[in-house]
Each structure stands twice: as structure tokens, then as C-alpha cells.
Structure 1
């Protein structure tokens, strides 16, 4: 009888062991934190069509003469901006790139809360997209307390930071040697969010007009 029980126990153990290993692996996968996004983009970006990023067109359907289906630094930046679900806070000295403006307008049309901080002297420069964005109902504030508001960063949903030397201009994207760092590291995102909040509050028009 004992030999029979031993055989049964060994048989159950043989069945249970793989199941236990599988369950343990599943548990570890669930407990393991999701991989944090960290990447670097370099410019100038390769010239390529980005129409498929904004529309349902397949990469080869557009009739423009630019290369199609090519992933570039610009297309990656556009996808990161368009990944916003709830908010985009943009703090940038110069903004004249029409594709990036188109991405911000697309977010606005989707109901994403967009706030923009820019330099007071640059907003009226020929080619600036700030007026276009304001006409679309996007709230824009200009830093009136410094020589230049020279930051270049964006916060996507308050969790993703995009920052570097890149101004959001055609020249910077297509011609200049520039860089962007993209990260979800909370320790890096947090101070930029605090800086945006500080500048946003400091340049509140109602506050600026309030008698001192």
C-alpha cells in the first residue's frame, strides 16, 4: 500500500511541479515593473513623408515625392507627441514647424488639454505657429520676466519628458545638429513638471495685471 501511495505522490508531484513553475513565472512577470522608456533622438531628421502619421493612409499611398515608410527622428517625435491621452504641456522658445503644430492641433481636436509656454519676443516672428495655435483655442502664455524663455521641453500626460536642444522649428528639425532625450524616469520628469507649473503661474495674465 505504501509503495502505491508513493507512486501516486510522485505522480502528483510530477504534474504539480511544472504548474508551480509556470504560476511562479506568471507572478514574477506581474510583479516586475514595466520597462521605463528612455531613448535619444538626433537631428537633423532624414526627410521622409509623415502623412500616414496623421491620416489613415498607408505609408505608400501618399503621392508626395518624399520617401515613404521611413522611421525618422521627426516621425518618432510626432508619434510621442500624439501619444498624449490627457495633457500636453509644451515649453519651447521657438515654434514654427508645421508638422509639429499639426500634431498639437490634432491633440486639441481630440480633447487633450494643451498648454504652451513660449518666448514673448518669438511669438510674433514671421512663420511662428503660436498664432495658429491660439486661434484654435489653445492657451498660450509668454514669459515676461526674463530676457528669453529659452527652455525646450514637453511633458506628455505628466509622465513622459521630451527635452534637449531642439527648438520646434523647420530649421532645427531639417538642418541643425540637435538632440532630444525622451524619458519616463519619474525623478527626471518631476522637476520639469514643477518648472512648468512655476512658469505657468508666474506668467498668468491675471496675475501680471494685478496691482503690486
Structure 2
């Protein structure tokens, strides 16, 4: 059957519309992906807010601290979103709030690993002992230089890094920053760094009688 010129033109218009719609769909997906991968930044010091409603139920809390949004609650909520793994590589970990977040994540069966600095994990107020008591594996350096990194990896796809130590001083007093990155190449580089340190700080490789 021969189609009329009008029929062919109608088919061409219809096909063009479909292609345009498909192209528009993929354009929207691309824009959405770019937005999702765009880095987000949190600035500290944070207002003194309670994060306990994020950790335990009932979600209401009778403490007198404010319960609004803050840089701390945003960071806590992000870390709590870990579903498979949480790798923490932070110089100083003395914040009760962030330590409680890590413990809450671990209690759900998420794999948690911690790398920290040997000197600062021994100071008063360090939360590292709580991690070990709960069963979280912690590794640390064994030399005179500092393990000075400050980053965490969530599910191997989200990087949390910046100047912030996980301490009350850093969260509530210092001028600090945290940047949240989903760029695949950047995240991969930090994954490789974490794995390198995790292997380097394997306690089976420690020397407990170093030669002077």
C-alpha cells in the first residue's frame, strides 16, 4: 500500500516528536545526575543541637537542647545513611555525637572500619575505646608522624572530607568545613588511600620492639 505525502509527513513529525521526547528524557537524567554529583559543603562551628532523635526511637527527646537542623545534624544524617559500609579515617575522634552515629550504624550490621592516629586515640575523651569494645576494628599508625587525614567513605560511593576533626572543639568552636563528594574518580582515589592505610596499619605488621 502506498502512503500519501501527508501520511509520510505525519510519520516524520511523529518520529521527530518521539526522538525529541527521548532526547529530553535523557537530558533530564543527565541534569539530575549532575545535580546529585555536585559537591555539598557544610560549615562549622555548628549550633549546639541534639542529634539523639536521629539515633534512637522514640524520635522525640526531652533534653533542653534545640532540635533543629544544623551542620552537625546534616553530617550525622548523612553518615546514618550508610547501608553497606562506613570507612572512617580521621585524626581525632572525641565527639560523643559522631561516635554515637558510628556505633548506631555498626549496630545495624553495616561493616565499619576506623583508621585513626595513635597519639590522639590515647587522649582523654577519645571515643576509639568504645568502638573497639563494640567490636569495630580500629587500626592506627605506629610512627612519630601523624595520621592526619579527615575523611569518611559511605558505601564506597560518597566521600565526606574537609578540615573537621570529629571533636567537640572542631564541631562547636572552630571554623571548619566538610565537603560531600560523589564524583566517581575522586571517591575512588580516597578508597585506594584508605585501603593502602588499612593494609599498612595491619597490626600483624607492627614492630613491638623497634630497633633504636
Instruction: Give the aligned partner of residue 55 of structure 1.
Output: 56
What's the C-alpha RMSD, in Å, of the aligned pairs? 2.7
Q: Secondary structure at the match of 1:34?
A: helix
Q: CA deviation at 1:102?
A: 1.0
Q: CA deviation at 1:209?
A: 4.6
The structural deviation recorded for 1:190 is 2.7
> What TM-score results when the alignment is normalised by the length of structure 2?
0.84
Q: Number of residues paired by the alignment?
A: 207
Q: Does 1:186 align with 2:184?
A: yes
For residue 122 of structure 2, give the secondary structure of its aligned residue in structure 1. coil
Matching residue of 1:122: 120
Query: What SS is found at the alignment partner of 1:117?
Result: strand
**Residue number in structure 2 paired with 1:21:** 20
Structure 2: segments with no counterpart, 5+ residues: none
Structure 2 equivalent of residue 148 of structure 1? 146
Where do 5+ consecutive residues of structure 1 fail to align? none
Going from structure 1 to structure 2, the CA distance change for 1:31 and 1:149 (only over 3 Å counts) comes to closer
Tell me the residue number matched to 1:67.
66
Distance 2:113 2:26 in 1: 40
The answer to whether the 8 A contact 1:88-1:155 is kept is yes
Looking at structure 1, the residues matched to 38 and 80 of structure 2 have their Cα atoms a distance apart, in angstroms, of: 16
Change (3 A) 1:17 1:186: closer
Q: Is the 8 A contact 1:51 1:57 kept in 2?
A: no
TM-score, normalised to structure 1, is 0.84
Asked if the contact 1:92/1:118 (under 8 Å) is kept, the reply is yes
Please state how far the C-alpha of 1:153 moved relative to its aligned partner. Answer: 1.2
Equivalent residue, structure 1, for 2:101: 103
Counterpart of 1:76 in structure 2 is 74
Contact 1:108 1:114 in 2 (8 A): yes
- In structure 1, the partner of 2:41 is 40
Other-structure match for 1:196? 194
Measured at CA, do residues 96 and 15 of structure 1 come closer, stay the same or move farther in structure 2, by a change above 3 Å? Answer: same
8 Å Cα contact 1:53/1:79 also seen in 2: yes
Question: SS of the counterpart of 2:114?
Answer: strand
1:146–1:155 CA distance, 2 compared to 1 (3 A): farther
